[in-house]
Each structure stands twice: as C-alpha cells, then as structure tokens.
C-alpha cells in the first residue's frame, strides 16, 4: 500500500445536492463520480462542529442570509463554486490570505448566518476557553528529557 486508509475520517460531498455527510470508512469508495472524496485538504470546521453550530444558531434564533449575493460563499467548499460567474468571490478569499470571509459568520447545512461582534464573542468564547484548559496542561521537553530520549533511541536502534 502506498498510503493508509485505516479508520480515516472521510468527508463525502454530494456534488449534486451539496450536502455533506460525515462518515467513517476503511476503504476508498468505488464510485467517485457522484461522490467527491477529500483527502489531503483540511477537514471542514463547519462539518466537524456542525452540532455545536446548529445549537448556537437555534439558541440565538439566527436567521439564514437570504440575499443571493451574500449566499455565494455559504457553502464550505468554496472552490467548487469558483466559476467564471463568481470568480471575484474567489479573489476576495485570496485577498484575505487565509481564505475565509472576515465578517463573523457561520455555515450550517448550506446556509450562511451573519453574526454581530457580541454574538461572535459568544460563539468563539467556548472554543477559546477549551483551548485555555489545554494550554494550562502543557508539558515541556527539556534538554534533560532530550538526553534521556536520545539514550533510549540509541539503546534500541541496534536491536
């Protein structure tokens, strides 16, 4: 095998219906005409956190953006929409360097939800709090550890 597929999280994208289904799979699908498979590009935050996003939208009674001009990037897979017609949107993504719209927003089931600053703080606060807990539990590989590791590797490398 040139690559490994064992228990890899795979995102299937239905090109026809632009619906995204999160699925765990052990092997490549045999039919890749109707189902695109995403290896090697980042897992989409909006899919991975779909439940959390949905709960936030419901709790805050957010309404999806209906104006078509605002909806063109409502789909997480923006490059699939990079047709000649909306190429300026793609350029805007590039100008933003990291690839996303700067206005605080959420994607959920193909719809776009715009947030104000307060709502964004409310949404991102738990994410940052979760990270703060991780940061507080950080370890450090000191040079003492390094010597021990080096010795361990030396000890087993001849086996």
Partner 1 sequence: MKFTLALTRQCNLACTYCYIGKTQEQMSPETAERIADFIFQSTPPGEKIDIGFFGGEPLLEVELIKTIVGMITGHRLYESQRVLFSVITNGTLFSDEIAASLKQHNITLGISCDGPPGIHDFSRVFADGSSSSGIVETNIRKALHFFPFMPVNAVYRPETLRFLPEVIDYFAGLGVRNIYLNPDISARWTREDVAALPELYGSIGKKYIEFYRAGVPCHISLVDSKIVVILRGGYQPLEKCRMGKGEFAFAPSGNVYPCERLIGSDEGGKHCLGNITQGASLLKSCCHDVEHSVNEVCSTCGLHDYCMHWCGCTNYFSTGDYNTPGPFLCSSEKAAIETAYGIIEQLGREGFTFSDHLAGTPLMSILGEVGALSAP
Q: Does 159 bind partner 1 (CB under 8 A)?
A: no
CB of 27 to partner 1, least distance (A): 11
Q: What span, in angstroms and rounded, lies between the C-alpha atoms of 96 and 102?
A: 7
C-beta separation of 117 from 104 below 8 A:
yes
* Phi and psi angles of residue 92, each rounded to the nearest 5 degrees, phi first: -60, -40
Q: Does 136 bind partner 1 (CB under 8 A)?
A: yes
Give the residue, chosen from 71, 81, 101, 111, that forms a contact with partner 1 under the rule CB under 8 A: 101
What track of x and - describes contact with partner 1 for positions 3 through 42 (by CB under 8 A)?
xx---xx------------------x---x---xxxxxxx
CB of 61 to partner 1, least distance (A): 20
Q: Does 98 bind partner 1 (CB under 8 A)?
A: yes
Q: Work out the burial of residue 74: count CB atoms within 10 Å of its CB; fewer than 13 is exposed, 13-18 middle, 19 or more buried.
A: buried
Q: Does 110 bind partner 1 (CB under 8 A)?
A: no
Give the residue, chosen from 139, 155, 158, 159, that forms a contact with partner 1 under the rule CB under 8 A: 139
According to CB under 8 A, which residues from 53 to 92 bind partner 1? Answer: 76, 79
The 3 state secondary structure assigned to 28-80 is CCCCCCCEEECCCCCCCHHHHCHHHHHHHHHHCCCCCCCCHHHHCCCCCCHHH
For CA atoms 75, 24, 126, 132, give the dihedral sign. Answer: negative
Q: How many CB atoms lie within 10 A of CB 10?
A: 20
Query: Which residue do the tokens 């709502």 mark?
Result: 119
Footprint of partner 1 (CB under 8 A): 1-4, 8-9, 28, 32, 36-43, 45-46, 48-49, 76, 79, 94, 96-105, 107, 115, 117, 120-121, 124, 127-128, 130-143, 145-146, 149-150, 153-154, 157
């Amino acid at each position: 095998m040139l690559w490994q597929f064992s228990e890899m999280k795979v995102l299937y994208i239905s090109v026809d219906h632009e619906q995204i289904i999160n699925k765990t799979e052990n092997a490549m699908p045999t039919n890749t005409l109707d189902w695109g498979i995403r290896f090697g590009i980042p897992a989409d935050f909006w899919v991975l956190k779909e439940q959390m996003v949905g709960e936030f939208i419901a709790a805050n009674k957010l309404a999806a953006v209906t104006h078509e001009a605002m909806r063109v990037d409502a789909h997480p897979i923006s490059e699939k929409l990079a047709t000649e017609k909306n190429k300026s949107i793609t350029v805007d993504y590039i100008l933003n360097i990291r690839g996303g719209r700067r206005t605080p927003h959420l994607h959920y089931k193909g719809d776009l939800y715009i947030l104000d600053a307060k709502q964004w703080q409310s949404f991102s606060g738990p994410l940052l709090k979760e990270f703060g807990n991780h940061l507080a539990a950080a370890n450090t590989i000191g040079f003492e550890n390094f010597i021990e590791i080096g010795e361990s590797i030396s000890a087993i490398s001849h086996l």
